[in-house]
Amino acid sequence: MIDPFGRRVTYLRVSVTDRCDLRCVYCMAEDMTFLPKSEVLTLEELDRLCGAFIGLGVEKIRLTGGEPLVRRNVMSLVESLGARLGAGGLRELTLTTNGTQLAKYAEGLARAGVRRINVSLDTLDAAAFKAATRWGDLEKVLDGIFAAKAAGLHVKINAVALKGVNEHEFDRLLAWCGEHGFDLCLIETMPMGEISQDRTDQFLPLSLVRARLRERWTLQETDYRTGGPARYFDVAETGTRLGFITPMTHNFCESCNRVRLTCTGTLYMCLGQDDAADLRAPLRDPSLGEEGLREAILAAIARKPKGHDFVIDRRRKAPAVARHMSVTGG
C-alpha cells in the first residue's frame, strides 16, 4: 500500500475498545459517553479486517484503545493475530496499555508472540498519578509493569509531559527506567477532543524538558528509528533509550507509515485529521467478499493526507480534531 505521497503503509494501529478504566486528564473528560456495544466490531471481525490489511502489506499491528486489556476476551484476538506472525505475513504484534490489567495478562501476551509493549505511566508519585488519571492506583500499574518484565516482554514507558504535574519528575523517571532496563518516551500533549480543562494550561514543550535533562544526562544522538514519530537518544549513563514525540514543535509526518482502525471499523488515515473511511459496511456486506474489502482499504489509503495541523493556543479554543485520543489510541 503506497499513499499519494509515496509513503509505504506497513503499520496498523487498532483501537479494540473506546472504553477505559482510567480517565487521564489530557485524554478524556470525566463523564465520557462510550459507544453502544452494538456499534463495536466483534473480535472475529477485527481479526478478519487485520487479516485483510496483512494481505495488503501491513507488517506490524499495535492493539490500543481506550484500554485494550479491558475489552472482554481480548486475549482471543491477541492469540488469533499472534498466529499470523511469521509465515502469516505479520512481523510484529504489540500493544499500548495503561498497565492496570497487565499482571493478569503479561504471560499470555508473551505466549501469543508479543515481544514488546508500551506502558503509559506519567509519574511515579502515587498522588500525582491519582490526579493525572482521576482515580488510578499506581501500585497496580507497577505490579503490571514488573509482571511484563518477568514474562520477558521488552517494556517502553510512555509519559505525557504535563506542565505542573510531572515536569520536575523526568530525572527520576529516566533513572527509574534505566535501573529496570526500560526505554522511556516523552510525549507532548495533542489537542484532541474536549477534556473539560484548558489544554494551554497542560502543554509543556519538550524542547525545554530535553534541555533540562541534558544538564544531568549524556544524551547521544542515534539513528535508531521505529518508523514512528519519536526521535531517540541513547542515554550513556543507563544504556537505555530516551525518545521524544513532539507533534507540536516538530512535524513528523514525512515518514508516516501508519493508519488507525477504530473498534467500529472506521479507518483514520491521519491522527490529526478528521477524514475517515468506513470499513464496517464492506466488511459486513457478503456480496462484496474479500476483494470488496481490499478495494475499500486501498481507496482509503489513496486519500491519506500529507500531515496534521495541530496548534494549541489561547485564541484557538476548539481542539484540532473533535474525537478523543481514545478513539484511535494514539
Contacts with ligand SF4 by CB under 6 A lie at 20, 22-24, 27-28, 65-67, 98, 120, 326
Number of amino acids touching ligand SAM (CB under 6 A): 20
Residue 23 binding result from ligand SAM, ligand SF4, none, given CB thresholds of 5 to 8 Å by partner type: ligand SF4
Q: How many CB atoms lie within 10 A of CB 171?
A: 13
Answer yes or no whether residue 47 interacts with ligand SAM by CB under 6 A: no
Binding-site string for ligand SAM from residue 13 to residue 32, where x marks contact by CB under 6 A and - marks none:
-------x-----xx-----
For the CA atoms of the chain, what is the radius of gyration?
19
Q: How far is the CB of 211 from ligand SF4 (least distance, A)?
A: 26
Answer yes or no whether residue 133 interacts with ligand SAM by CB under 6 A: no
> Which lies closer to ligand SAM via its Cβ, residue 245 or residue 293?
245
Residue type, 4: P
Of the ranges 73-81, 105-113, 186-194, 285-293, which one interacts with ligand SAM (CB under 6 A)? Answer: 186-194
Q: How far is the CB of 69 from ligand SAM (least distance, A)?
A: 8
Candidates 1, 50, 141, 160; binder of ligand SAM (CB under 6 A) is: 160
Give the whole-angstrom CA distance, residue 189 versus residue 120. 13
Answer yes or no whether residue 189 interacts with ligand SAM by CB under 6 A: yes
Q: How far is the CB of 269 from ligand SAM (least distance, A)?
A: 18
Window 85 to 114, contacts with ligand SAM (CB under 6 A): 96-98
Answer yes or no whether residue 330 interacts with ligand SAM by CB under 6 A: yes
Residue 190 binding result from ligand SAM, ligand SF4, none, given CB thresholds of 5 to 8 Å by partner type: ligand SAM
Answer yes or no whether residue 144 interacts with ligand SAM by CB under 6 A: no
> Which lies closer to ligand SAM via its Cβ, residue 138 or residue 293?
138
> Which grid coordinates are listed for 198?
484548558
Task: Kindly provide the b/e burial profile for residues 231-261, where b requires at least 16 CB atoms within 10 angstroms of the residue's own CB.
Answer: bbbebeebebbbbbbbbbeeeebeebbbbbb
Give the whole-angstrom CA distance, residue 44 versus residue 50. 10
> Which lies closer to ligand SF4 via its Cβ, residue 27 or residue 297?
27
Q: How many CB atoms lie within 10 A of CB 2?
A: 13
Which of the 8 DSSP states describes residue 66? S
Q: How far is the CB of 64 from ligand SF4 (least distance, A)?
A: 8
CA 194 to chain centre: 19
> Which lies closer to ligand SAM via its Cβ, residue 16 or residue 267?
16
DSSP E strands, the chain: 11-15, 60-64, 92-97, 116-120, 154-160, 183-187, 219-221, 231-235, 241-245, 258-261, 266-268, 276-278
Contacts of 60 (CB under 8 A, 6+ apart): 10, 11, 12, 90, 91, 92, 93, 94, 227
Of the ranges 1-9, 62-70, 208-216, 226-234, which one interacts with ligand SAM (CB under 6 A)? Answer: 62-70
User: In the sheet that 266-268 helps form, which strands lie side by side, from edge to edge?
Assistant: 219-221, 231-235, 241-245, 183-187, 154-160, 116-120, 92-97, 60-64, 11-15, 258-261, 266-268, 276-278
Q: How far is the CB of 38 from ligand SF4 (least distance, A)?
A: 22
User: Contact residues for ligand SAM (CB under 6 A)?
Assistant: 20, 26-27, 64-65, 67, 96-98, 120, 158, 160, 187, 189-190, 192, 325-326, 329-330
